[in-house]
Amino acid sequence: MLRRSDIDHILRAAASLSGYSRFVMVDTGVVIATARHIPAVMMMTEESDIYAEDTADIELVSDLIDGSIWRYSLFHKTFGYYGDGVSPSTAVMPVDWRSRAVEYVTPDGLATAAPEREDLPSPN
């Protein structure tokens, strides 16, 4: 079960690995990080899909995240959740999604753009 503190941990680990402090979440992590009352079914995931926002090579940073804190990594085995390094094309959102994005800031100051829930693609 993924909690807000777990998302914070994933973001801290991704920042430590990559040297970047701004990420975009594109999955149910958005709801977990920003909602006050979270449906338990949404917390049943083990992952948060993220990409570094302010980098010239998003794929390189996503590969770094995948190589270190992705599924079946020591991070995942230790904590029971993981970060999935993705790209902007992972979630096809409206062109103007950024104007409605919710800024989520972790307790230690990492900033993350969280798309408005209505802008996220529907799960398959």
For 81-118, how does the pLDDT look when each residue is reduced to its tens digit (9 = 90+)? Answer: 999 999 998 888 888 988 888 888 888 887 787 788 77
Q: Could you tell me the pTM of the whole model?
A: 0.90
Contact assessment for residue 85 and residue 64, using Cβ atoms and an 8 Å cutoff: yes
Q: Is residue 114 part of a domain?
A: yes
Burial, 77: exposed, middle or buried (Cβ in 10 Å; 0-12, 13-18, 19+)?
Answer: exposed
User: How many domains, in total, are found in the chain?
Assistant: 1
**Is 124 domain-assigned?**
no
Which pair of tokens denotes residue 76?
């995942």
Structure tokens, 65: 């995240």
- H-helix or E-strand spanning residue 83: strand 82-85
Which residues constitute the domain of residue 68?
4-119
Give the CA angle between residues 71, 13, 87 to the nearest 5°: 60
